[in-house]
Copies of this chain bind each other. A is one copy, B any other.
């Protein structure tokens, strides 16, 4: 059995090599693909044909041949943006979201439902998320897209397809089952702060390859990107910026500790300090220059700056990126964060996310696309 197995592995690895070369180049000829991958032109031909048949690659246009091509026009090949799609879902404390991107990273579908999910039975929240997923599946079919897989962003940690803990929802060990059709890569669950950092890396405005992305929501999490890759830690729990201690004598936190950043500067803490009920109202009051609201946001910003000073001293990133609700509040929050970073003598670049609260669900959808590019053989097998 060694022969066929090795052949299948080599074909899988070569398919990935070719698809990566096409994705990196944008458009490319078969001859250029051979040069980029080191594979022979005849190998390339068969592999490209397989990728075209699977709908991952398309031959776009013929250009006049150059010297050495004997005058025959060369077909240009590119990713097929009408082929595969990745479905990102997000289950967060105060909203649910579904978002679909194609192989080129373009958003093909987006639906966000704002609703406080605390206190709701998990089964009810998951049913609603399931309906969002089904609507996205219908939209994919209508656009002729083949769903490659789905990834759910959650405000906590996952073990396989179980949410092992989501403290701000009060959930533990909740299995996630969604009414999705069979897909090549199936269903994955991942921490939302990690996915938001990947969303920023893949789809955001220019960010460096070493940064800390802050997801400011009811909870506060961070995704740490080191040299273009997610830093996960020994137990996939790295980046818990919300539990960096900013006041050792501060109030108790849901984590069991005290003086944690998210207890003092998460969205609920800001709303309480501002004396308002909703994020929309907070933004309106800040825009109107209402001192209590502005003071509440600035106080939170100073504490975020303290935690980011500690994070910068430990992690030494090129930039810190304010994301989630903090991106929407940036006009009033970012100056306080910057002052606080300066007072603690650290100087990473301070950026504001261009994706805001969409970063995690974009990262979730993008993680499916990343799997297609890294492992197209599995997509081809699933096509039958």
Residues on A lying within 8 angstroms of B by beta carbon are 208-210, 222, 224, 226, 231-241, 243-248, 253, 255-258, 260, 302-303, 306-307, 309-311, 313-318, 343-346
How far, in Å, is A243 (CB) from chain B's closest CB?
4
Measured between beta carbons, the chain B residues less than 8 angstroms from A346 are: 243, 257
Instruction: Give the residue name and chain of the B residue nearest to A303 (CB).
Output: B248
Measured between beta carbons, the chain B residues less than 8 angstroms from A256 are: 345
Known: A245-B344, A255-B345, A257-B345. 13 other contacts (CB 8 A): A226-B233, A232-B316, A233-B316, A234-B317, A240-B313, A240-B316, A241-B314, A243-B346, A244-B314, A248-B306, A258-B343, A258-B344, A315-B315
Q: How far is the CA of A341 from the CA of B137 in the complex (A)?
A: 46
| Interchain CB contact under 8 A, B306 and A222 | no
Query: For the complex formed by this chain, how many copies does it contain in all?
Result: 2
| Interchain CB contact under 8 A, B311 and A314 | yes
| Interchain CB contact under 8 A, B257 and A343 | yes
| Interchain CB contact under 8 A, B257 and A234 | no
Q: How far is the CA of A310 from the CA of B222 in the complex (A)?
A: 13
Measured between beta carbons, the chain B residues less than 8 angstroms from A302 are: 248
Taking A247-B248, A256-B345 as contacts, is the C-beta distance between A208 and B234 under 8 angstroms? Answer: yes
Taking A309-B257, A343-B258, A345-B256 as contacts, is the C-beta distance between A316 and B236 under 8 angstroms? Answer: yes
How far, in Å, is A371 (CB) from chain B's closest CB?
23
Q: How far is the CA of A232 from the CA of B258 in the complex (A)?
A: 30
Measured between beta carbons, the chain B residues less than 8 angstroms from A234 are: 208-210, 226, 316-318
Selected A-B contacts with CB under 8 Å, 8 pairs: A232-B316, A233-B316, A234-B316, A235-B318, A240-B314, A241-B314, A243-B344, A314-B314
The 9 closest A-B pairs by CB, nearest first: A233-B316, A256-B345, A210-B234, A257-B344, A240-B313, A238-B316, A257-B345, A244-B310, A243-B313
Q: How far is the CA of A234 from the CA of B318 in the complex (A)?
A: 6
| Interchain CB contact under 8 A, B317 and A233 | yes
| Interchain CB contact under 8 A, B245 and A310 | yes
Instruction: Give the residue name and chain of the B residue nearest to A319 (CB).
Output: B234
Interface of A is mostly: loop
Instruction: Give the residue name and chain of the B residue nearest to A318 (CB).
Output: B234
Most chain B CB within 10 A, of A244, A260, A346, is at A244
Most chain B CB within 10 A, of A226, A248, A255, A345, is at A248
Taking A257-B345, A344-B257 as contacts, is the C-beta distance between A233 and B210 under 8 angstroms? Answer: yes
Q: How far is the CA of A185 from the CA of B253 in the complex (A)?
A: 52
How far, in Å, is A357 (CB) from chain B's closest CB?
23
Measured between beta carbons, the chain B residues less than 8 angstroms from A255 are: 345
Measured between beta carbons, the chain B residues less than 8 angstroms from A306 are: 245, 248
Instruction: Give the residue name and chain of the B residue nearest to A248 (CB).
Output: B306
Measured between beta carbons, the chain B residues less than 8 angstroms from A253 are: 345
Taking A224-B314, A315-B238 as contacts, is the C-beta distance between A309 and B245 under 8 angstroms? Answer: yes
| Interchain CB contact under 8 A, A244 and B317 | no
Instruction: Give the residue name and chain of the B residue nearest to A341 (CB).
Output: B257
Measured between beta carbons, the chain B residues less than 8 angstroms from A243 are: 309-310, 313, 344-346
How far, in Å, is A203 (CB) from chain B's closest CB?
21
Instruction: Give the residue name and chain of the B residue nearest to A224 (CB).
Output: B314
Q: How far is the CA of A171 from the CA of B346 in the complex (A)?
A: 19
Measured between beta carbons, the chain B residues less than 8 angstroms from A311 are: 314
How far, in Å, is A320 (CB) from chain B's closest CB?
12
Measured between beta carbons, the chain B residues less than 8 angstroms from A258 are: 343-344
Measured between beta carbons, the chain B residues less than 8 angstroms from A343 are: 257-258
